[in-house]
A = this chain, B = another copy of it.
């Protein structure tokens, strides 16, 4: 991918974003982009190679949203980012093969289509030349937490590199609960809410606010995902602790 880009635009500056995306994990990618893309200047372009549908007729897309520019497979990986950015995206289907590397393999479109398209864009090729605009694309469904009387029910959105579990519950989702809270994941209950990892003793299971503003479950200097056998989708609950 890097070679293809530099071959077309030798002045391109390349920045690796992650070497730890689990293979073919579109939801992990989507959540990763939510954290990774916004700090970049809008002059950057972003390429996503996570593409379990490669070789099928799933389209490839050029996306502009809130001034951000991405080339991506149409698997929903960018839609969570777009939702966070909050402005409507402008999407182009990549159909004009004159900007691709030939022959195009059936197993590596990141190298054969996305990389050369991004390189041509970086040289000033107009997006309209890449293919037709489209209003249809795959959306990733992100479960929202439900707030009942005295209880917030959510799920794990993302497991980070350290095994920390980031939920879909935001601070605002549970602030109305008030009082002392109890966090439940499977059969495990957590009562310890901290501001930072280092406030916990090594090995202690704690709840805190992640750097993305969501509720996070972590084991200080440990791996919560493996200790709790938790994964993306695992249900979690936040409830008002019974008065003792």
What's the least CB distance linking A106 to chain B, in Å?
5
A6 at the interface (CB under 8 A from B): yes
Q: Name A2-53 residues within 8 Å CB distance of B.
A: 2-4, 6-7, 10, 13-17, 19-20, 23-24, 36-41, 43-44, 52-53
Copies in the complex: 3
Of A85-93, A205-213, A231-239, which binds chain B? A205-213
A7 to B42, CA, bound (A): 8
Write out the residue numbers on chain B whose beta carbons fall within 8 Å of the beta carbon of A2: 15, 17, 39-40
Interface size in chain A (residues, C-beta < 8 A): 50
What's the least CB distance linking A118 to chain B, in Å?
13
Evaluate contact between A209 and B10: CB separation under 8 angstroms.
Answer: no
What's the least CB distance linking A138 to chain B, in Å?
13
Q: Name A48-79 residues within 8 Å CB distance of B.
A: 52-56, 58
The 4 A-B residue pairs with the shortest CB-CB distance in the complex, in nearest-first order: A55-B196, A3-B39, A3-B40, A108-B211
